[in-house]
Amino acid sequence: MLKYVILTGCLCTLFTCEKDLTYDIGDNTIRGRAFLQTDYFREAQPAPAAGKMVTITYLNPPAGWPTTDAGDNEVEDYLFSTKTDGEGYFSFDLLREDHEYVITYEELINGRRYVGRDTSKPEIYAAAVTATLALTGQTGIQILSFDEAGAPLKGVKHCLYRTEDNLPSDPTDCSGSNLETISDDRGYAMLLGSPETYLLRSSLKIGNNVLADSTQLTFEDQKVITQPVYLSLQTAAVKNSVRFQTYDVRGDRLPGVQLCLFTSQLLFERDSCAGSNFQFLTDGSGTADTTDLPANFYYLHGEKIVGNQRWTVKSAVNFAAGEDITISLKLE
């Protein structure tokens, strides 16, 4: 409702309720129709907006027309408001032929704001107001998913993280993500968020193959950004079959040893398992097996703590692709 009024009162016709601005009232009419378009690609026909509120105001407000209230806050400075009929049609009366007007239709769907505007003069042509996703006044992202050839991809999983700590090794896993969504039949997805920087991980699993992409982006305050992503086939890392065997200083098997592998020397030198890439625990025979270890150079930290006693071992190992090896470790 208009917070600032020039004269008190309300004049209502069959279609329109207006503030009493008798000095500027005319005897002309603008008719039109309101639509809602939720299709980003504009391929689907917009739907008539039935029973929705539509407002009208000046394109060029006359002198003295209020734009702020006493507290310097923005006000809704529309002249008249009305509701569309069952087919989306509306009519505004009491307009002057020498003024040009702006008609606005706004809708909120699932928290997303859609806005449409059209400019018209009385009796010249019918107004058509189509509300589309508002790219300002809300914070979010539109994601468009393609393969390397530029074809849209359906069912792409998009995971957004505020931090890169403890990211799942599987790109199709959204565990720990702050936001997530899935692309529709034409590769489109939309999310609302807060103005922060995110890591966007996008993935699509097709049979045994995984298409993926990763990029860093920033949500702009009160803006909806558009981000295309191009997913490429991920080549699976060649894994190794590794057996770890742990012993004490006498050569006896030592069970319950925690083994931690690092690719970062800095984290390895902290003398704990915090930040390690992989962790294993030896069983009752002092053995730990894995067949899921990517080829790489690793720093190894092993420890066992019983009461006040602590046994440790430190080493560095280089696993080549496809190795089948056993590593013996003596803790002191």
Decide if 1 is inside a domain: no
Question: Could you say which of 233, 261, 288 is where a domain stops?
Answer: 233
CATH code of residue 254: 2.60.40.1120
Decide if 2 is inside a domain: no
Q: Are residues 126 and 148 in the same domain?
A: no
Q: Are residues 304 and 266 in the same domain?
A: yes
Domain that holds residue 100: 10-133
Statement: residue 146 has pLDDT above 60: yes
Q: Are residues 29 and 129 in the same domain?
A: yes
pTM of the model: 0.64
Q: Are residues 229 and 188 in the same domain?
A: yes
Of 93, 137, 92, 112, which is closest to residue 36 (Cα–Cα)?
112
Statement: residue 74 has pLDDT above 70: no
Q: Are residues 179 and 247 in the same domain?
A: no
Question: What confidence tier does 236 reach under pLDDT thresholds 50, 70, 90?
Answer: low
Residues 6+ apart with CB under 8 A from 307: none
Question: Could you say which of 201, 233, 265 is where a domain stops?
Answer: 233
CATH code of residue 67: 2.60.40.10
Q: Are residues 118 and 183 in the same domain?
A: no
Give me the pLDDT at residue 26, please.
78
Of 32, 157, 55, which is closest to residue 103 (Cα–Cα)?
55
Statement: residue 108 has pLDDT above 50: yes
Decide if 5 is inside a domain: no
Measure Cα distances from 23 to 16, 103, 121, 275 in Å: 18, 21, 19, 73
Question: What confidence tier does 239 reach under pLDDT thresholds 50, 70, 90?
Answer: low
Q: Are residues 212 and 292 in the same domain?
A: no
Domain count, the chain: 3
Decide if 101 is inside a domain: yes
Q: Are residues 302 and 254 in the same domain?
A: yes
Q: Are residues 123 and 55 in the same domain?
A: yes
Statement: residue 63 has pLDDT above 90: no
Rounded to the nearest 5°, which phi and psi values hold at 262?
Answer: -125, 145
